[in-house]
Structure 1
Amino acid sequence: MRPYELVDKLPPKRFTRRQRLLLVYVVGLVTVILSYTLLYNAGMRYFEGTQQSVFHSAQIVVETMTTTGYGSDSPWSTPVMNLMMITMQVTGVGIGFVTLRVLVIPLFERAPLDLDDRLSAKNDHIVLAEYQRNTEVMLDELEELGVQYVLIESEEAEAKRLSDDGYQVIHGDPEDREDLGRATIERAKVLITDAGDQTASIVLTSLEANEALDVVSFTASTRRKAALMEIGVDRCVAPNALIGHQLAEMATTPIAVESDAESDEIGIREVLIRRDSPLHGVRVSDSPMADHPALTLVAGWFDGELRVSPEPGDRLTPNTVLLVAGPISEIADLSREVAGVQHPSGTTQPDVVIAGVGEGGSAAEETLPAATTVTTIDQDPDATPDVVGDATEPETLREAGIETATALIVTVGDDATSLLTVAMARALSSDVEILARVTAAEKASAAVRAGADYTLSVQRVCARLVAAEAHGERVMSPVNQIRLVRTSGESFVGEQLATIRQDLTRDWTVVGIARAGDILTDEETTVRQTDEVFVAGSDDAIQKFEQTVDAT
């Protein structure tokens, strides 16, 4: 075959849509200018009596259409020429808009944008190397707390969108040493990774640049924890397992510290504000716990965030858990009165149903006390659940014993299934306590409306965890890091309980006094030399308190 025959057989080269658009634009523009030039030249000859070259007419046409001036031809004396000039002016304005849309704007859109120029100076900041959940929830949390950060986003369009919204984001490969350097990894104090299989590579590359980094890694499974800890990860978090553990803690009776009194014991219990609670929307200062003569409000979980000594202006919502200290019987009475929560008595064995036997469901089952009767539901028979079936179906829930269960923990795969499971369980039982996990932060309130008593969002929990790490604080899970200790009252001799509790600058409070075998919680009670006091607070706060007591 001859070369020219081969060329003839090649398919014709096709233009892109943009190339065709530009071709039409150029041909159309040249056609308009030439047509106006010929018409103008003829009009000047016949209507204005002026002989001039075609090139001069072309100059006048271009000047008119670009609104740069008219030169010596202006003004025109005949109506025909004036109308022609008006037409050219309007045409020029229209072509100007088309030029912007076809040439100028696309040119700027295709110009490379360096997102690094938008970063402020950073030091002791957080570097987020990818984040696979709702990024805005995480970044909003950091922005609200004033935490410095840089997010490395591998998707260019997503990086630009977030940067345009005002977030500190750059586009890059978090496994690349140079891109980590653009995020000033060498001056960062915390590295957060949420990159799946890329995590190990990112961590190792980052630690080469900054060995002092504190590394927190999100992972889908706890099975990877050992491997990640081996390469330098300081804290490995499986969000679903963490939330499963927390929901299980909420589903059972937490801690209690027995006193020497025969009549009662003092302890900390949870008061859950349910969806139909009369306390919905009430301020802490206006709640029954605020001025109860025998009880002390130690802390509260507000939308998954622990606040020790809540502010008086904090409002109670149907997703709030209050940690109340005092005589156990008084707390039980208060719970039944204002929350409607069924607390297992000493003779009743807790009966918990878990819907979804994944990372979260397995963690919840492992966390529940041995005395708890647990029934698991899952559609996958390989997960070896007690009941194989769809948790959104009433027959499945009834087979699992939902109508007699004390609590239902929902850890199914997606939010839509979670919401339907919650709604179906609530329709079958008005008394069962429903605790649900959702992924999206905005679905937490929807789960409460569907009938859940308490919900935790994966996105919100992860965001709070990162924010706490930024402050160097250990993230606290419900209850098990609230401590109640009994110690000598020598440090408080002569003080009333009301005065001690009013000090909101510390993360601990005195909830009661042990005196001669009795438990005294009235605020007017004055501490004596021989009294013992019950002090409640966070782990760190109690440790500081104990050090202070030892020092005195």
Structure 2
Amino acid sequence: MKSSRFGPARFVEPLRRRNVRMAAVMMMVVIVMVVGCSALFHHMMALEGREYSWATAVYWTLVTMSTLGYGDVVFESDAGRVFSSVVLVTGAAFILVLLPFVFIQFVFRPWLNSREAARAPRRVGDWAEEHIVLTGLDAVTDSIIELAEYEGAPYVLIVPDLAEALRLREDGYQVMLGDLDDPQTYRRARAEKASLVVTTQPDTTNANVAFTVREIAPEVPMVATANASASVPVLQLAGCTEVVQLGDALGRALARRVVGVDSRAHVIGEFGDLRIAEANVSGTIMAGRTLAETDLDARAGVNVIGVREKGTFAVATPHVRLTSRMVLLLVGTDEQIAGYDGGSADGAVLDRPVLVIGGGRVGRAAAAALEEAGLRPVIVEKRAERILSGRAYVEGDAAVLEVLERAGLDKAAAALVTTHEDDVNVYLTLYLRRLRPDLQVVARATRERNVSTLHRAGADAVLSYASIGAAAIWNTLGWRPRLVIAEGVDVFRTPMPRALRGRSLREVQIAKRTGCQVVALNRNGQFELPDHDAALPSDAELLVIGDEAAEQRFVERYAGRR
């Protein structure tokens, strides 16, 4: 058992370590000075023919050193006054300067630090049950916290550094101070009662965390992130129930957004038997028409739930006029999606390359997904050690026009910008858009604040580690899974609000009032397309699409009246 960190012992603990020697040395120096000066006082007074007790000698030394100078015991000779001056200067240096420094450095500051440490909780309360335990704050866990707060799910964030814990606590996070490799940390976090434990540290740290958690909570679901594919089985052996390779997940998600090679529907997600797909308007007869004029729901049975153009999402309304730069968001069964491809799309896949700029984990995963879809990726990579055999590479800097021309920019159907530096991605997106205004550009963002910048630079779609990783981890809970359509645009599930029960979608006009669109209804695990004229059942869930602002309006208007 570890000794308690609470109580009087914690205030003197620093003095029992390296600081106690320095404090003891300083005190000994002061004592020696007082004794030495008192002895010299006796000698100097004897030279003047006077005699005082040792108590008076110590009294005179302390009064002189502290600069009080009462004047009741003084020297009459010049030698005595010189001696008094030396004692005065020496005492001022030690008693008035060094002793306060010793006190502040070795007594007051450790005590103050102990009080600061007490402000950072080292355990959670009894409220922690069915909560989420997170190890450290990064872009992914920050997004998970946002989802948890939105869904009303409790969480605790474990931080090993005191200063960071205090800062995060002041910022409003539910923080607990503790070492990630200490079993007591997870006991205090009540990990055995958690609904999920999430660790997003480096692979080696994740393995240690998994072993440590399994010692405390052998049955609790646990999700870890992995940078290397070789780490996946190791983390599973360590006790992780789910391992998410963020680089692979992001690369494949970026690849699924490539629609410039044809006009067919490309499935990007699914809920039960329903598929969410994207389809390019270019290459179809729909360009220039309104959605009502296309009559897609009657001809193919699919519902158009939204459109994207130049990075901007809008819900689908009958009066939306389609342009060749738009991408349709469709929902339907496999048969309905196939019906769309057969009746509205040109099934031929254009034999044009897809540029993948960046040959790291994300770029390689995107290229692999494109190859699986029958497309022809060409990776542009300037670091020779990243160029692997068995795949089309062009070595060089993508900011150089000659390199892009060798990669086939003039014939490319799309470009994926996958480097890990947002500044580089913004630059390359802007460069590609200037060189090829008609090119579909899908970009990766590392920081959420750069998403809008990438859209302004010309990206048709933007995805990030944070959104893809948070959604993948959140969906393992099985509460209300989410699908990331694009950065800031999600498909989410919600219980039927009380204000909508028994009313039809045509009557309530959700899209007009909130900017969200109802995608489907979920009845006992069966997803079905909504009938806009039928009354909404009270026992069903809604599947809704919208951007962040629209989702917030939906929550404010309806979620409080479930």
Q: Please tell me the TM-score bracket, short chain as reference.
A: 0.5 to 0.7
Q: How does 1:107-506 map to 2 (within 5 A)?
A: 117-121=121-125, 122-128=128-134, 130-131=135-136, 133=138, 137=142, 141=146, 148-152=154-158, 158-165=160-167, 166=169, 168-174=175-181, 177-195=183-201, 196-197=203-204, 199=206, 202-203=209-210, 206-207=213-214, 209-221=216-228, 233-252=240-259, 254-255=277-278, 258-261=296-299, 267-274=304-311, 321-326=312-317, 330-332=321-323, 335=326, 346=346, 349=350, 352-368=354-370, 370=373, 372-378=375-381, 379=384, 380-394=386-400, 395-412=402-419, 418=425, 421-422=428-429, 424-426=431-433, 428-441=435-448, 444=451, 447=454, 452-459=459-466, 461-463=468-470, 466=473, 472-478=479-485, 497=506, 499-501=508-510
2:107 aligned to which of 104, 109, 132: 104
| Counterpart Cα distance in 1 of 2:345 and 2:408 | 19
What is the distance in 2 between the residues matched to 1:138 and 1:495? Answer: 34
Return 207-216 or 390-399, whichever deviates more: 207-216
Deviation, 1:408, is: 1.5
Deviations 1:235-258 (A, max 9, x none): 331111221222223332644694
Q: Which amino acid aligns with 2:315?
A: V
User: Are 1:41 and 1:52, in contact at CA under 8 Å, matched by a contact in 2?
Assistant: yes
Distance 1:466 1:481, change over 3 A: closer
SS in 2 for 1:217: strand
SS at match of 1:332: coil
Q: In 2, Cα distance between the equivalents of 1:502 and 1:267?
A: 13
Code of the aligned partner of 2:213: S
> Cα offset for 1:141?
4.0
- Aligned to 1:58, what secondary structure does the other structure show? helix
C-alpha distance in 1 between matches for 2:140 and 2:239:
25
1:186-211 Cα deviation digits (max 9, x unpaired)? 22121113351464564465346435
Helix, strand or coil at the partner of 2:321: helix
Residue 389 of structure 1 and its aligned partner are, at CA, apart by 0.8
Question: Which deviates more, 21-30 or 91-100?
Answer: 21-30
What is the deviation of 1:409?
0.9
For residue 321 of structure 2, what is the amino acid of its counterpart?
A: E
Offset, 1:398: 1.9
User: Matched residues in 1 for 2:92 and 2:50: separation?
Assistant: 21
| Cα RMSD (Å) | 5.5
Structure 2 distance, partners of 1:496, 1:106, is 64
Sequence identity (%): 19
Question: What are the Cα deviations for residues 132-164 of structure 1, in whole angstroms up to 9, with x where unaligned?
Answer: 9568846864786575434455xxxx5223223
TM-score (norm 2): 0.58
Cα pair 2:30 2:94 within 8 Å, conserved: no
What SS does structure 2 have at the residue aligned with 1:396? helix
Query: Aligned runs of 1:49-68 on 2, under 5 Å?
Result: 52-62=52-62
Task: Report if aligned partners of 2:226, 2:243 keep a CA contact under 8 Å in 1.
Answer: yes
Q: What is the rounded CA distance, in whole Å, between the counterparts of 1:117 and 1:266 in structure 2?
A: 50
Q: Tell me: CA distance 1:498–1:225, structure 2 relative to 1, closer, same or farther (3 Å).
A: farther
Distance 1:160 1:389, change over 3 A: same
Greater shift, 37-46 or 94-103, is seen at: 37-46
Change (3 A) 1:148 1:42: farther
Contact 2:133–2:158 at 8 Å: present in 1 too? yes
The aligned counterpart of 2:271 is none
Structure 1 unaligned regions, length at least 5: 1-15, 275-320, 337-343, 484-490, 512-525, 530-534, 540-552
When residues 363 and 537 of structure 1 are mapped into structure 2, their CA distance, relative to the original with a 3 A threshold, is farther
Change (3 A) 1:93 1:467: farther
The one-letter amino acid paired with 2:377 is V
Judging changes above 3 Å, is the alpha-carbon distance between structure 1 residues 392 and 45 closer, same or farther for their aligned structure 2 residues? farther
Q: Is the partner of 1:474 in helix, strand or coil?
A: coil
Give the 3-state SS of the residue equivalent to 2:323 in structure 1.
helix
Residue pair 1:125, 1:187 contacting (<8 A) in 2 also: yes
Contact residue 309 and residue 325 of structure 2 kept, 8 A: no
Instruction: Write the distance in 2 (CA, Å) between the matches of 1:135 and 1:36.
Output: 66
Residues 49-96 of structure 1: CA deviation (Å, up to 9, x unaligned): 9853344232354367679x99xx677899989999986568633233
Report the 3-state secondary structure (helix = DSSP H, G, I; strand = E; otherwise coil) of the residue aligned with 2:403. Answer: helix
The answer to whether the Cα contact below 8 Å between 2:416 and 2:441 also exists between their aligned partners in 1 is yes
The 2-side partners of 1:36 and 1:508 are apart by 89
Deviating more after overlay: 249-258 vs 377-386: 249-258
Q: What SS class does the counterpart of residue 473 from structure 1 fall into? A: coil
- Give the secondary-structure state (helix, strand or coil) at the position aligned to 1:124: coil
Alpha-carbon separation, structure 2, partners of 1:345 and 1:28: 92
Give the 3-state SS of the residue equivalent to 1:477 in structure 2: strand
Alpha carbons 1:441, 1:458 under 8 Å: kept: no
Assess, with a 3 A threshold, how the Cα gap between structure 1 residues 501 and 34 changes in structure 2: closer, same or farther: same
Distance across 1 between alignment mates of 2:98 and 2:533: 88
Change in Cα spacing, 1:50 to 1:430, as seen in structure 2 (3 Å) is farther
Mapped to 2, the partners of 1:496 and 1:473 lie a distance apart of 22
CA separation of 1:449/1:492 partners in 2, compared to 1, >3 Å: closer, same or farther? closer
Structure with higher RCO (Cα < 8 A, 6+ apart): 1
CA distance in 2 between partners of 1:422 and 1:75 (Å): 86
SS at match of 1:259: helix
Counterpart amino acid of 2:408? G
Question: Secondary structure of 1:52's partner?
Answer: coil
Matching residue's letter, 1:52: Y
- Please state whether the residue corresponding to 1:260 is helix, strand or coil: helix
